[in-house]
Amino acid sequence: QAKIEKRPPEQQVEGDDDEIIRQHVDPSRMKFRVGDEKNMMIHIAQCCNPVRGDEIIGYVSRGRGIIVHRTDCPNLKNMAEVKDRSIDVEWETEFPKLTKRFAVTSKRTYDLFGEIEGALRKHKGHLIEGRLQDDEEGKLMGTFTMEVQHEDDFKKVIKTLKTIPSINTISEIR
């Protein structure tokens, strides 16, 4: 019995002499961002095989979820309903890249760090540094530095932090 092996999409890279070389890219390592949606069914178009760095667009198919195409894909240009069924898609970066600082004042609580870290994890952020100090009135004042992937992720973290009952104020440090 013959074993059938599925080949991953290819990626174009330039060689030393400017010739174009195709290299295989594992599709499971390609990650996309479609607004705030999670757990969406996303496939890579086999006609144009977009790779990280290409300008891309999502096409909402019937039954297969979102198909990610290069914006210059000839097949996409030939589809009449593209405008009605297209959706913005971005490449998801593998590592956080935006560093943000914020200050909080809070009631004295034993798990403020844990609650802040939980809010960051919820929005794929990473806590770099955090400092808390007690004042004479039993309040905590703190500054925190975090990394997130996008500005809107930072806004979501702040919004989540505002729901923590022990936090009195929160503000971005510029």
Domain residue limits at 55:
10-91
53: left (phi over 0), alpha (psi -120 to 50) or beta: left
104 and 168 in a common domain: yes
pTM: 0.48
Residue 120 maps to which CATH number? 3.30.70.260
Residue 5 lies in a domain: no
For the cut 80, the answer to whether the pLDDT of residue 10 exceeds it is no
119 and 84 in a common domain: no
Residue 11 has what pLDDT?
Answer: 44
Q: Which long-range contacts (CB under 8 A, 24 or more apart) does 153-156 make?
A: 153/98, 153/123, 153/124, 153/125, 154/98, 154/100, 154/125, 156/123
Q: Decide which of 91, 108, 126 is a domain's last residue.
A: 91
| b/e map 45-60, b = 16+ CB within 10 Å | beebbbbeebebbbbe
Sheet with strand 139-148: strands edge to edge: 126-134, 139-148, 98-107, 167-173
pLDDT digits (tens, 9 = 90+) for 11-28: 444 444 444 333 344 455
pLDDT digits (tens, 9 = 90+) for 89-147: 887 766 557 888 999 999 988 888 899 999 998 988 888 888 889 888 889 999 998 98
| b/e map 83-119, b = 16+ CB within 10 Å | eeebeebebeeeebeeebebebebeeeeebeebbbeb
